[in-house]
Structure 1
């Protein structure tokens, strides 16, 4: 988690807390060390954020503190509402949770006059889309793409033939009805797309393809064009 994101999260936790939060509680929720929380709290206090702490009790924030309003036009807010609704159709559990978190955060920091599209339910996106895959964690796939880590797949194709594959994942494609993982397949020696709903098992390996991800994506995109 980036430091700026972490500072924002700490503010959000303290704003909604009904009782003092200890450094240990905050550290657990953000998956960081207590020392990191101490440093972040000190940084926020140096920026005049009204956080007060007492040893053995925890941290509290002065009532009424608010973040600066997020300056978005009404069209930008409506675009965000529709985009978040489309994310919820992807079948990606991690992205759906992130979309809900974004919606809550944006609602908190938007000026009251600009909250109608989010709070007033005036824009709708149908919930028909990809079902959540049962044998693969798409958050784990996205992490493997970022870390340039190979994936081991047990895959069944359209004819029902099952194979073990080692792939270098480079992209996730969210279609309306299905999610596909694109990667360089070491078995076939070429790019392949693997439907998430046909993956029987998936796990990251210890083997990396560091420095190759961008080049592979460029080659794959050139073929799409």
Structure 2
């Protein structure tokens, strides 16, 4: 998570907390080290954000400090509720946590729409501890236009090691696929995340040609997105 977003999250957590929040709890929630939290708290205080407390005791936000409310009409709220709930189908653990944070922010200022329900079944949850590749890593590689070294198991050709230029992540109902330019095959290929054995993000980037490659892939595949945020 970028630092700006993390500072915003710290404010949100402290704003809704009923008691001082320890640095270790903030670190666990935001998946960073305690040292990073200490630096973030110091940065917020330097920006005159009224964060009070100290290491070992906990932090809280002085009453009266708030952020601008979110304003949505009824159908916009319902669209957000359904859209965030459908992220549970992606199997992307990091996006699911982000969706939960967004939901909490919306509930702080708007009534929830619990009567709209979305079935959670879909792609299996990514769990790097069980040996599978993190979808968050794949999204980062696409976002930063960084090459990937991928070990992949194909039912047709077996196990192979490939260097990819990742272009897009496609969430289907029952699986997630990475679209990429495969240097081994010299063309566009799609890789199911549940068949990835390992993936490492390389230092090599391909930002100058990323846009052109993505456009060419979309034209070749005939993608016509009904909604592209």
Normalising by the residue count of structure 2, what TM-score does the alignment of the two structures yield? Answer: 0.80
Work out whether 1:89 is the aligned partner of 2:82: no
Structure 2: runs of 5+ lacking an equivalent: 223-229
Match for 2:120 among 114, 127, 134?
Answer: 127
Which string of whole-angstrom CA distances, capped at 9 and with x for unpartnered residues, describes residues 154-208 of structure 1? 1122325221111111110001111100100001100000011111222222322
Which string of whole-angstrom CA distances, capped at 9 and with x for unpartnered residues, describes residues 68-93 of structure 1? 32111111110001001111100111
Aligned equivalents of 1:193, 1:55: Cα separation in 2: 48
Partner of 1:42: 46
Work out whether 1:68 is the aligned partner of 2:68: yes
Between 154-163 and 28-37, the greater mean CA deviation after superposition: 28-37
Q: CA 1:131–1:173 in structure 2 vs 1: closer, same or farther (change >3 Å)?
A: same
Q: How many residues align?
A: 213
Q: CA 1:154–1:54 in structure 2 vs 1: closer, same or farther (change >3 Å)?
A: closer
Work out whether 1:115 is the aligned partner of 2:107: no
Corresponding residue SS for 1:68: coil
Corresponding residue SS for 1:212: helix
Match for 1:174 among 171, 175, 182?
Answer: 171
Work out whether 1:140 is the aligned partner of 2:137: yes
Aligned equivalents of 1:164, 1:4: Cα separation in 2: 36
Partner of 2:218: 221
Structure 1: runs of 5+ lacking an equivalent: none
Say what the alpha-carbon RMSD is for the aligned residues: 2.7
Tell me if structure 2 keeps the 8 A contact 1:167–1:183.
yes
Question: Cα offset for 1:36?
Answer: 4.6
Between 199-208 and 92-101, the greater mean CA deviation after superposition: 199-208
Aligned equivalents of 1:97, 1:21: Cα separation in 2: 20
